[in-house]
Amino acid sequence: MGFSIPTSQQLHSQTSKTSLSSAADKSGLPPGTLIHIGEKHASECKISVTQYNVDTLIKHEITSISELKQLQNNELITWVNVDGLSDIHIVEGIGQELNIHPLVLEDILSTHQRPKLEEYEDFLYLVIKGISINEKKDFSLQYEQISILLLANHVITFKEKTDDTFDPIYNHLQNHNGRLRQLGSDYLAYVILDTIVDEYFIVEDGLDEIIDPLEDNILFNSNKEMLQTVQQIRRGLISMKRNISPLRELLATIQRADTPLLKEKTLRYYGDVYDHVLRVTDALESYRERISAMHDIYLSSISNKMNETMKILTIFASIFIPLTFIAGIYGMNFEYMPELKWRWAYPTLWVIFISIGVGLLVFFKKKKWM
**pLDDT above 70: percentage of residues in the chain:** 87
The packing angle between helices 102-109 and 88-98, to 10°, is 150
pLDDT value of position 357? 86
pLDDT value of position 12? 40
Determine the average pLDDT of the residues in 79-103.
86
pLDDT value of position 54? 87
Determine the average pLDDT of the residues in 139-165.
88
Determine the average pLDDT of the residues in 101-124.
88
- Evaluate if residue 189 carries a pLDDT over 90: yes
Residues 7-29: tens digit of each pLDDT:
434 434 444 455 555 555 555 56
Listed in sequence order, the residues at least 6 apart from 128 whose beta carbon sits closer than 8 Å to its beta carbon are 115, 145, 146, 148, 193, 196, 247, 250
Determine the average pLDDT of the residues in 208-227.
77
Q: For residue 147, give the 3-state DSSP assignment.
A: strand
pLDDT value of position 125? 93
CB 192 within 8 A of CB 147: no
Q: How far apart are CA 54 and CA 236, in angstroms?
A: 42
**pLDDT above 90: percentage of residues in the chain:** 15
Whole-number average pLDDT of the chain: 82
Residues 31-75: tens digit of each pLDDT:
656 776 666 665 678 888 999 888 888 888 887 777 777 777 778
Helix H or strand E segment including 85: none
Listed in sequence order, the residues at least 6 apart from 14 whose beta carbon sits closer than 8 Å to its beta carbon are 6, 20, 25, 26, 28, 29, 35
pLDDT value of position 30? 59
Q: How far apart are CA 117 and CA 273, in angstroms?
A: 15
CB 317 within 8 A of CB 238: no
Q: How far apart are CA 347 and CA 284, in angstroms?
A: 70
Give residue 91's identity as a one-letter amino acid code. V
Higher pLDDT, 25 or 122: 122
Determine the average pLDDT of the residues in 310-324.
87
- Evaluate if residue 191 carries a pLDDT over 90: yes
Helix H or strand E segment including 368: none
| pTM check: above 0.85 | no
Domains by residue range for the chain, with CATH? 38-300 (3.30.460.20), 309-366 (1.20.58)
pLDDT value of position 71? 77
Q: For residue 139, give the 3-state DSSP assignment.
A: coil
